[in-house]
Each structure stands twice: as C-alpha cells, then as structure tokens.
Structure 1
Amino acid sequence: MQISSDEEDTVCPDKVTVASALSACAALGAIDQGKWVHSYLERSGMECDMVIRTALVDMYGKCGCVERAYQVFKEMPNKDVLAWTAMISVLALHGNGNEAFELFKEMEAVGVRPNAVTFVGLLSACAHSGLVEKGRWCFDMMRHVHCIEPQVQHYACMIDILGRAGLFNEAEELIRTMPMKPDVFVWGALLGACQLHGNVKLGEKVARYLIDLEPDNHAFYIILCDLYAKSGRFDDQKRVRSLMKDQDIRKSVPGSSMIEVDGVVHEFSVKGSPEMLMEALQSVLLLLSNEMKIERNIGSVIR
C-alpha cells in the first residue's frame, strides 16, 4: 500500500497509515510530502482524529513550519494532553521557550493536566532558550504541584539547562543527588556543556564515564579530541586519536545529509555516489538561480 499522487491506482489508506506517513515525513524533514499528505486528508474527506491532527503538528514542527503547526493546533477541537504537549515540544525545538510556557499556562487554564512528557518539552524549551530560573521552577513544580516524580529524561534536561549556563557545580551536585543512576543522556548533556564552555578538566572526567558506558561510541572520543585541540593539548588529542585507531573505533554508519528538491528528498554521504551528489547540487543551484532571476526581475519592475 502506498500514498501517491496516482490516487486512482492505490488502495485508500486508513488513519494508521496516514499517521505513519506523517511521522516518516517528520523524521526525514520532507515538508513537501508532508503537505501533500495534509492535502490528501482534506481532499479525501477522511475524518481527522486527535492522533492525525497531533501528527500534523509534529510533522510541521519538525520540518520547521512553526506557524503552520500552530495553525493546525489552534483548529483542533477538544485538545488532549498529547496535542498540547506536541505543540509545546515544537516551540521548544525552535528555541521559543517563553511561548512554550505561555502555552502551558493556557493548557492549565482549560483544565488539561500535564504529564511527564509535557515537562520534558518544557525543560527542553528552557535549555534551548537559556531560561535557567524557569527551568528550576518547572523541575520543582512537576514534583510538588503535579506530583510527577522526575525521571532520567527530566534530569538530563535539567543538566543541559545548567550546563549550557556554565553552572557546572550545580549540575554535578544534581547528578550526585539523582535517585537513579545517571545514564548516557545525562552524562552526554554535561559533556556537551563542557565542550561549549571549554571545560577540559570536567570534560575529561565525564568522557571517561561515557566511554565506560558505551566504549564503542565514537562521538565521545571526538568531543574529547575537540576539547584537547581547543585548549592546545595536541599531544593528548593525538593520544586519543591513536586509541581510536588501535581499537578500531569509528562511525558504524557514514554521516549523511539530506536535501529536498522539487518534492524529492535526496540523501548523500561522503562515501556516496559523486554522480548523485553532483546531480542533487546542480538541481539546487538551478533552483536558486531561477529564484534569483525572479527576484531581480521583480526589483526591476518596482524601480
């Protein structure tokens, strides 16, 4: 079964298929295909339940169309906690922390109770927007007002908030007092903060914890190398590089990039086909060239 523009030749998809297609578009950042699925829903007259509407919000948000996501959200009747959480997460993703909190206040005002995932979204919004005090308030409120015990994801977000602000002593103290064992996401948030602020001493310690947890994860070695390089410790950087080589630690999957041209998502990597790469780049350059000509012509007419 597939959803395509040749609707006459395909089996009509059900709601589960449509929701899955929207999730795939969100994961790929395929906005043109996502818009097409939305258009298909409107043309087909399929009833859009809360699951599909929430998937639309998520898709538009992850594809960078925050206003479109908000439009879909506002048109939802009887929004449930999943819908509110999805929109809060979209705002968090794009660094709109204050807007996320305003939406949270609206949610509480209409009597919808937040869940644990809602607070992950709010804390993430604080991290991406540098809202340290609101992050502390949110972390405290979820326990004492909503009786939701923080899980490891909430602690990871809180460490991210404190670490980005350079509050390393407070971040370390929070890790020490966690009621559960810190996982790779908690330590990873702290390591990312060490890289951001150039805290080599703490970064070394955190990297060792992470390498013990996931000894084959190349990312931790790379960040440690970056810390050494930025602090001028090139011998230590060389030592870590040699260790990676001796233990054959490298990316299991080559890094790749994706671009969307004329509604088609192209993926290419360093080891990919040069012909495919050039074809994709030429398409983008042609598209940009045409757009520039149009803008230039419009400017000439205005003048």
Structure 2
Amino acid sequence: MVESNYKLLKTSVLYLLNQCKSMRKLKMIHAQILTSPQFSETDRYFLTTRLLFYCAISDSGSLPYATKLFIHLERSNLYVYNALIRAYATKSYSGQSMNSLTIYINMLRNGINPDKLTFPFILKYCSGRLDVLMGMAVYSHVVKFGLCYDVYIQNCMINLLCECGFLGCAHKVFDEMSKRDVVSWNSMIVGSLRNGEVDLALSMFRSMSNRSIYTWNSMITGLVQGGKPKVALELFLEMVMMNDGAVRPDKITFASVLSACASLGAIHYGNWVCEYIKRSGLEIDMVTATALIDMYGKCGCVDKAIETFRGMPKKDVMAWTAMISVYALHGYGKEALNLLHEMKAHKLKPNNVTFVGILSACAHAGLVEEGRQCFDMMTRIFSIEPCVYHYACMVDILSRAARFREAEKLIDDMAMEPDAYVWGALLGGCQTHKNVELGEKVALRLINLDPLNHAFYINLCDIYAKAGRFDDVKKVRKLMQEKGIMKDLPGSSMSEVDGVLHEISVRGSHELVMDDVLGLLNRLHNDMKICAGNDEAGSN
C-alpha cells in the first residue's frame, strides 16, 4: 500500500510538471520535491532534473531559475547539461557569465561525454555569434566523438558555414553527407540565397525531389530579393499548377509573390493572386493585406491601395507605413501627413521606416516646413534617432527647394558620416536648379567615395553639359574610357501586355521582335512631326 502511494505521488509530480504553466506553480512543485519525506534521494534528484529541464526549455519557465538549480545540484548528468546548452543557445538571457560553450567545457571537465543532442545547439550558439573558428573547433569534437555522420549535426554545420559566408565549405559538407534530408537541402538553398548565389540556389532547388512549403517560400522570396521577380512569379505559377496537392501556398508565399508583382508593376498578376487567395478560401490577414497595399501602390493603383487599407479590420504599424509609402511614391504629401496624424490618434507609434515614408512624401510634394516639423517630431516626440536615410530625405527636401546652404549645414551637423544617398540627394537638387559650382563639388566627392560607379560620372557630365562646358564633358568621358568605367548591366524595363510580361533593354528582348517595336516608335515619331507641322501651319 505504501509502495503504491509512493508511485502515485511520483507520477503525480511528473504529471504536474508536464502541465505546469507558470513559475509560481513550478516553485510550489519544487518545494514539494524538496520537503516530501516519501522521496528517496535518487527520486528527488530525478524529479529535480526534470524540473530543471522545464525551467530551461519551456516558454513558461525561467532560465535564471534553471541556472540556480544547476549550480546547487550535487552532480549533473548529460541530460541536465544538454538541457542548459540548448536553453542558452535558443534563449536570450543577460546577467550570467554562462553560455552554451562554457557549459559544454564544464561538462567535458567533469568527465561527461557529449552525444548527438549536444552538438547541434553548440553549433547554433556559434552561428548566432558568427564565430566560424569556434564552430570549426566544435566540429573537430564532433569528429572525435564519432558523430560526424549524424544528419542533424551536419545540417547545423552547413547552416553555421553559410551564415558566416563560407558557402564553399558548406557545399563540401553537403556533398560528403551519406544521407540528406529536406533540411539539408533547405539549408544549402537558403545559404546560397543569403550569399547572393541565386543561380546555384535555383539549380539545387531543381535537383530536389521532395520540396516542402519552406523550400518553395525560401526560393520564391530569395528570387524576389535577388532581383529576379519574374522568375519568382514563374516559380509560383509552377507551384500552383502542381496536381499532387502536397504543397499549397501560404501567407508567406503570397506576400513574396505580391512583392514580385510590385517590383514588376504587374497589376494583372497581382489581381490574379488576390483572386486566387479568395478562391482558395484563405484569409487575407495583415501580412497579405500589407503586401497588397504595397503592390497596388507600386503598380499605380492608389485607389485600390486605399480601399484595401480601409478594409482592414486591424492594422499594425507596417500596414500604416505601407499606405504612407504609397502616398509618398505618388506625391500625395498632404494625405501622407494626414495619415500620420490618424495613426497617432489610434495610439500607434510610428517607427523609423514610417518617417522615411513621411519625409519622402514631403520631398515629392515640396512640403519643406512640414518636412522640418516631422524631422523634429521624430526625435522630440517619438525618441527615434535619425539614421542616414532620414538625413538623405531631409537633404532631398531642402535641395529640391534650392535651399543649398541649409542642406550643407544639415550634412555638416550629421552625427554619422554622410553616405552616397545623402550626397546624391544634394546632387539631384544641384542638377535640377543648375547649381554648377556646388554640383561639381558634390559629384567629385561622390566619385571619390565610389570611383567605379558610372552614375556619378554621368551626373557630372550632365552638370557640365547644362552649363555649356562641353570640353569638360569630353574630359570626363575620356577619363571613364581610360578607367574602363561603364554600365555593368543595360537599362531595362518591364511592360505587361495582355497579362504577359515583356522585358525590353538596350540589348533587345527575347520575347519581342525589336524591329516591330522600333517600327512603331518611328511611326509615332513621324505622326508627332506631322501634328506639329499642322499646328504651325494653322497658327500662320
């Protein structure tokens, strides 16, 4: 009977630990473990380690409390060490000198060997610190303890190497894996995308036989961010045309695809995606609605953007910022300012991106004083320290209004070193108002900042040409030839015709017969000349 009651008590404590949702209750359980005379020292140790695990891992736990338990344990086993290593690798907690690595070293000093659950979180800790050398040292222990063929550890090592920019080394680990899972492929694809190797990522994606939604989303998002929105759209269409039903788009997919439509100005595709979401019975949540606002704005459909924004039952700061940015893009400065005041009335605090949109709106609408007030409000009311982008917007506002002395003073008073965006904003104003002397000085400064950027030389030529200094134009062009400075990629534009996207550049187009396009342009040019001639004849 006593034995039965003892087992019931032990089982009850374990059950309560698993169900515990607060530290207050957990401390009560801890007190019961410490004071109950029915527990032997062995059982008390066992239950304390389980309690420590809960404190360390659970969202309702407390890492400081788990650390105190660890310090006061007479002895620690591998289970306890792994729990703490995992906790310190996955949770942010300041105030302790411990970390995953120091705990691991302490474990080795106490004669406890690691297992396959130890190393993934130590490698994760190294990834968080971008410490590839320490990661390599840890991996040497992986080899030493005969765990180098564990797929989970190898995946973590690939992730570490990719995070630190060692894509070639990551590829070598991947190639040497005897067994790969979907995480292995995803890690290499995401790593390739983060390191700018979009084509390599796409090649690996095509080689995969089993793709998860995470794989599709990573690839589509990476293509959009890598400057290949058209390929991203094509990949999305391939995804929805699959008949196996194994993978269905989610809100992350739609947000990325709408971003691709925004980049291309492909309104028909954007509308189709919106209809697809509705037909699929999926909810248009805040993330998707915000992406729709951005897409409509960049495609020139301001009314649709407003309709989407006003139709949102709940809006976060990102949604308000997206709508403000739409107004800024189209020069609706007053509307952007009104939306900022409305946002404040809803007790929402704008962030630094919101103020980039507001200041940009003031610049495009020529609202100099309003721009000043917002720049001041940012720090005085919202305690947001201006960054270089805010200064660039403010310089743009002043330069467009030909207030060059004020713009120069603002640059001189900057807390950080002005970058090309700041000087570029000043240069734009100089070109608009034909301020040759200052424009020349700024253009030369920009060339010193980035001597291989062709745009700065072109801007300087433009300033000289507007001032009639054609000898100086020739000198700059000669300098460009001597340095081998030219435009890396030809200018291009995307045009959507009957729902089909066409790309046209200086080099031509794969999809359009350029002779037909040039023929149409020549006919339009001739028609315009005829119209101009008729107007002159009529006036005479």
TM-score by length of 2: 0.51
3-state SS, counterpart of residue 502 of structure 2 = strand
Matched, 1:215 2:451: yes
**1:26-105 equivalences in 2 (<5 Å):** 26-105=262-341
Distance in 2, matches of 1:199 and 1:4, equals 50
Matched, 1:233 2:469: yes
Matched, 1:114 2:350: yes
Shift of 1:45: 1.0
The farther-off stretch of 61-70 and 12-21 is 12-21
Aligned residues, how many?
Answer: 286
Name the % identity: 63
Q: Among 117, 130, 145, which residue is 2:381 paired with?
A: 145
Distance in 2, matches of 1:180 and 1:274, equals 46
* Kept after mapping to 2: 8 A contact 1:100/1:125: yes
* Kept after mapping to 2: 8 A contact 1:60/1:66: yes
Shift of 1:4: 3.5
Distance in 2, matches of 1:23 and 1:270, equals 26
Shift of 1:182: 0.0
What RMSD over aligned residues (CA atoms) do the two structures have, in Å? 2.2
Shift of 1:56: 0.4
3-state SS, counterpart of residue 206 of structure 1 = helix
Matched, 1:125 2:358: no
1:234–1:6: structure 2 CA closer, same or farther, 3 Å change rule?
Answer: closer
* Kept after mapping to 2: 8 A contact 1:126/1:135: yes
Q: Among 264, 270, 277, which residue is 2:500 paired with?
A: 264
Deviations along 1:238-284, one digit per CA (max 9) or x if unpaired, are 100100111111100011121110111100111124872438849x9
3-state SS, counterpart of residue 111 of structure 1 = coil
3-state SS, counterpart of residue 276 of structure 1 = coil
- The equivalent residue for 2:409 is 173
Matched, 1:190 2:435: no
- The equivalent residue for 1:253 is 489
- The equivalent residue for 2:391 is 155
Rg: which structure is higher?
A: 2
Matched, 1:19 2:252: no
Shift of 1:15: 1.4
Distance in 2, matches of 1:137 and 1:46, equals 42
3-state SS, counterpart of residue 488 of structure 2 = coil
Letter in 1 for 2:412: R
* Kept after mapping to 1: 8 A contact 2:269/2:499: yes
Higher relative contact order (CA 8 A, sep 6+): 1
Letter in 1 for 2:301: C
3-state SS, counterpart of residue 250 of structure 1 = coil
Gaps of 5+ in 2: 1-215, 217-234, 522-540
* Kept after mapping to 2: 8 A contact 1:268/1:277: no
1:42–1:173: structure 2 CA closer, same or farther, 3 Å change rule?
Answer: same
Deviations along 1:70-96, one digit per CA (max 9) or x if unpaired, are 100001112110000000000000000
Shift of 1:12: 2.0
Distance in 1, matches of 2:513 and 2:348, equals 48
* Kept after mapping to 2: 8 A contact 1:266/1:280: no
After TM superposition, the runs of 4+ consecutive aligned structure 1 residues lying more than 3 A away are 1-11, 277-282
3-state SS, counterpart of residue 76 of structure 1 = coil
- The equivalent residue for 1:290 is none
* Kept after mapping to 1: 8 A contact 2:436/2:464: yes
Distance in 2, matches of 1:211 and 1:126, equals 28
TM-score by length of 1: 0.90
* Kept after mapping to 2: 8 A contact 1:19/1:52: yes
